[in-house]
Structure 1
Amino acid sequence: MAGYGDLLRTPGVGRIIAAQLTARFPNGMTSLAILLHIEHVTGSYGAAGLVLAATSVGQAVAGPVTSRWMGRWGMRRVLTATLAVCAASLAAIALLLLPLPAYMALGLICGLATPPVQSAVRTIYPKMVTSRQLTPLFSLDASLQEIIWIFAPVLITFVATQAGTVPALLLIVATLIGGGAWFILSPEVGRVRIPRSRRRLGRVLARPPVLLATIVGFLLIGACAAVEAGVVATFDHGGLEAGLVLGVFAVGSLAGGLSFGHLPIGRWAMARRLGIFTVGIALTVVSLNVWWLGGTLLLAGAGIAPALAVIYAMTSASVKFSDTAEAFGWIGTGQLIGAAAGSAIAGFLIDDIGPTGAYVAAGGFAIAGLAVAIIFVRGFPDLRHRDASPIPDTEPVQTIG
């Protein structure tokens, strides 16, 4: 923990972490608020699911594209433009009575315009700290983002049930604008310039570490999404026990990230961390007792943030600086698709065999992720004796002969 204290005393680090967490806080509220609002307006969870699906598709498509745009037009321009469109589309969903196709179109626009804050901040980090501090910083970031998933759903559910779904959506708009403005106006966002990439869109996936990071992220988040569906189904559609168990899951991730973040990252680091996660997930099928699930998910959670820290560090260390934002965009897209796949598969299995089916689905995703980390271990970079800084971009230099 002393190492994290030194890290947070580095000029600008504490501020940029707080700003980006505030800017990303709506990510933990938007889906639930849209679900509650559209169901309230239309009386149909099916209609709400269609709007959510459109939003998720927009987010998945936009991730690499808007991240890459930051190298062309600058971070502040892209973040400001996407923030304005995203906030306007959410406000329209909240305030306008529209047919379902129009809500779906607005959801798609909202997803497409989701500000690429995550890609931006993880591109900025290597320029703020020493090479020795970068891996712990990625771990701290992965750990603290659990704050979003612990508090945001609780806050938005409380506001939606006590004040209504319209105020809940408008709260998200206000947080999006306030947090986004704080992040955009941070000095580091103005100082860091991403060189324009000369590669075609998607070529960064040809680098094995980036592809492996995307695949592992897909499987890890797929397992987490299946667990969330299983917990909600286990405890009668989100009772008090469901919130507490999911909170314990997130607390386990926070604790794991803070405890293991200082450890060096070798080729087997991902396999070890996913091993902890997989053991915890596998044990959930033994019993659906609230105490058992809480304990097993606390164990499983201890592997999540450390695994995410490996994903971010190996990605940063494996690409040129001009490609980092796009690479993180692809990783975000993989995680979004994983969340959708995990929820969908878990849902079908819950309907077929009950809540246990969701934990079986989560176990399948977790085992697949662990298998990838073991089978393709040589594709994971060894960062024990090097830092996680991006590869410098080089320009041809004219010489006088």
Structure 2
Amino acid sequence: MSSYTELLKTRGVARIIAAQLTARFPFGMLSLAFLLHIEHTYESYGVAGLVLAALSIGQAIAGPLTSRLMGVWGMRPVILITMIICASAISVIALVPLGIAADMAVAFVAGLTMPPIQPAVRTIYPKMVNSKQLTPLFSLDASAQEIIWVLGPVITTFVSVQIGTVWGILLAVAFLVGGGIWFLTSPELGRVRIPRSKRKLGAVLKKPPVLLSTIVGFLLVATCAAIEAGVVSAFGEGGAEAGIVLAIFAVGSLVGGLSLGHRPIGPWALARRMAIVFVGTAVAAASLNIWWLSIVLFIAGVGIAPALAVMFSIVSASVRFSDTAEAYGWVGTGQLIGAAVGSALAGFLIDGIGPSGAFLVAAGLAFFGFLVPLFGKRFHPDLRGRDASPLPDTEPVTVVG
């Protein structure tokens, strides 16, 4: 724990973590907020699914594109422009009745202009701490982001049900703008400039660790999405039990991140952490009892933040600094697609055989999430005793003191 205390005392680390978490909070709110609002408006989950699909497609396309633009225009201009457009598009869906096709088009724009906060902060981290602190910082960040995925849906459901679905969406906009401004005004954004990449868009995926992290990230987040759908289905949207189980699931991730995050990353690191996720998930369908699910999902959660930290670290250590933002953009795109696919597959199985179907889907996804790094071990860098910072570019990187 002393390594994390040291980290938080490092200049700017606590501030930048808090600012980026606030700016990214809508990521844990918008899907559910849109689902509740569109279903309420059109009385159709099918239509809500179409709007969410448009949002997800936009986000998936945007990941590497807006991340790469930060190397051309700078982080602040790209984040500011996308934040304004995205907030406007989301507000339009909440306030203006447009019709199904127009709602889908606006949702696509909202997804396409989702501010690239995560790639930006992952790119900044290596310039804020020394090489020994980088992997623990990635782990701390991955652990802290559980706040987004636990509190986001809970707050959205409460506001949407108790006050109104319009206010559920507008609250997400408030976090987007407020957190975005906080992040934009952080001095760290002015101290680091991302060099313009000389490679073609997508070339970074030729780096095996980037592709490995993108695929495993897809499977890991798809697993989590299926678990969330299964828990909500088992206990009902308004049941306190669902919130309790999901909170314990997140606490498991937090505990895992803090306890395993400082450990050296060898070639088996990602497979071992995904094995923990699989073991906990594989037995979840045996019973829908709250105590059983709380225990096994806590175990599954222990592997989540450490697995994410490994992915962030091996990507960082495998690409040039000018390519880091785009690389994290691709990893983020994989995770976004995973969230959509995991929810959709779980939904089909829930309709077919009940809540246990979602946990069967999650177990299958987690199993593949374990197999991919197991058989892809030769593509996994050995970072034991090695610097996890990005490779230097051939031209000097501007760092303003």
TM-score by length of 1: 0.97
Change (3 A) 1:122 1:296: same
Between the aligned partners of 2:348 and 2:158, the Cα distance in structure 1 is 29
Residue of structure 2 equivalent to 1:68 = 68
155-164 or 5-14, larger mean C-alpha shift:
155-164
Residue of structure 2 equivalent to 1:379 = 379
Q: Which runs of structure 2 are paired with 1:92-111 in the superposition (5 Å)?
A: 92-111=92-111
Is residue 303 of structure 1 aligned with residue 303 of structure 2? Answer: yes
**Shift in Å, 1:238:** 5.1
**Shift in Å, 1:351:** 2.2
Residue of structure 1 equivalent to 2:399 = none
Between the aligned partners of 1:156 and 1:373, the Cα distance in structure 2 is 35
Q: Which runs of structure 2 are paired with 1:106-117 in the superposition (5 Å)?
A: 106-117=106-117
CA deviations on 1:302-359 (whole Å, 9 max, x unpaired) are 0000000000000000000000000000001111111112122222222222222211
Between the aligned partners of 1:219 and 1:172, the Cα distance in structure 2 is 26
Between the aligned partners of 1:130 and 1:96, the Cα distance in structure 2 is 49
Residue of structure 2 equivalent to 1:187 = 187
Residue of structure 2 equivalent to 1:25 = 25
Between the aligned partners of 1:178 and 1:218, the Cα distance in structure 2 is 29
181-190 or 167-176, larger mean C-alpha shift:
167-176
Query: Residue type matched to 2:376 in 1?
Result: F
Between the aligned partners of 1:269 and 1:92, the Cα distance in structure 2 is 45
**Residue ranges of structure 2 left out of the alignment (5+ in a row):** 397-401
Between the aligned partners of 1:167 and 1:335, the Cα distance in structure 2 is 27
Is residue 367 of structure 1 aligned with residue 371 of structure 2? Answer: no
Is 1:135–1:387's contact at 8 Å kept on the other side of the alignment?
A: no
Between the aligned partners of 1:369 and 1:134, the Cα distance in structure 2 is 24
Is residue 122 of structure 1 aligned with residue 97 of structure 2? Answer: no
Between the aligned partners of 2:89 and 2:379, the Cα distance in structure 1 is 41
SS in 2 for 1:129: coil
Is 1:83–1:114's contact at 8 Å kept on the other side of the alignment?
A: yes
Between the aligned partners of 2:358 and 2:167, the Cα distance in structure 1 is 33
SS in 2 for 1:200: coil
SS in 2 for 1:53: helix
**Percentage of pairs with the same residue:** 65
Between the aligned partners of 1:278 and 1:37, the Cα distance in structure 2 is 34
CA deviations on 1:234-279 (whole Å, 9 max, x unpaired) are 2234522122111111111111101111111110111111111111
Is residue 250 of structure 1 aligned with residue 244 of structure 2? Answer: no
Between the aligned partners of 2:236 and 2:133, the Cα distance in structure 1 is 44
Residue of structure 2 equivalent to 1:152 = 152
Is 1:75–1:189's contact at 8 Å kept on the other side of the alignment?
A: yes
**Shift in Å, 1:135:** 0.3
Between the aligned partners of 1:288 and 1:179, the Cα distance in structure 2 is 37
Between the aligned partners of 2:232 and 2:164, the Cα distance in structure 1 is 22
Q: Once superposed, what is the RMSD of the aligned Cα atoms?
A: 1.2
Between the aligned partners of 1:383 and 1:89, the Cα distance in structure 2 is 42
Equivalent residues, number: 396
Residue of structure 2 equivalent to 1:200 = 200
Residue of structure 2 equivalent to 1:81 = 81
Residue of structure 2 equivalent to 1:278 = 278
**Residue ranges of structure 1 left out of the alignment (5+ in a row):** 397-401
Residue of structure 2 equivalent to 1:353 = 353
Between the aligned partners of 1:318 and 1:384, the Cα distance in structure 2 is 14
Between the aligned partners of 2:346 and 2:41, the Cα distance in structure 1 is 27
Change (3 A) 1:57 1:191: same
Between the aligned partners of 1:216 and 1:165, the Cα distance in structure 2 is 34
Between the aligned partners of 2:324 and 2:255, the Cα distance in structure 1 is 27
SS in 1 for 2:283: helix
**Shift in Å, 1:37:** 1.3
Query: Residue type matched to 1:13 in 2?
Result: V
Is 1:20–1:183's contact at 8 Å kept on the other side of the alignment?
A: yes
Residue of structure 2 equivalent to 1:399 = none
Change (3 A) 1:164 1:176: same
Between the aligned partners of 2:206 and 2:348, the Cα distance in structure 1 is 34
Is 1:276–1:299's contact at 8 Å kept on the other side of the alignment?
A: yes
Residue of structure 1 equivalent to 2:225 = 225
CA deviations on 1:43-66 (whole Å, 9 max, x unpaired) are 222211111111011001100000
SS in 2 for 1:318: coil
Query: Residue type matched to 1:24 in 2?
Result: R
Between the aligned partners of 1:26 and 1:349, the Cα distance in structure 2 is 27
**Shift in Å, 1:25:** 0.9
**Shift in Å, 1:295:** 0.5
Between the aligned partners of 1:117 and 1:343, the Cα distance in structure 2 is 24
Is 1:54–1:108's contact at 8 Å kept on the other side of the alignment?
A: yes
Residue of structure 2 equivalent to 1:235 = 235
Residue of structure 1 equivalent to 2:38 = 38
SS in 2 for 1:386: coil
**Shift in Å, 1:395:** 3.4
Is 1:55–1:110's contact at 8 Å kept on the other side of the alignment?
A: yes
SS in 2 for 1:311: helix
Query: Residue type matched to 1:163 in 2?
Result: I
Residue of structure 2 equivalent to 1:262 = 262
Between the aligned partners of 1:339 and 1:176, the Cα distance in structure 2 is 20
Between the aligned partners of 1:186 and 1:236, the Cα distance in structure 2 is 40
Between the aligned partners of 1:73 and 1:138, the Cα distance in structure 2 is 26
Residue of structure 2 equivalent to 1:11 = 11
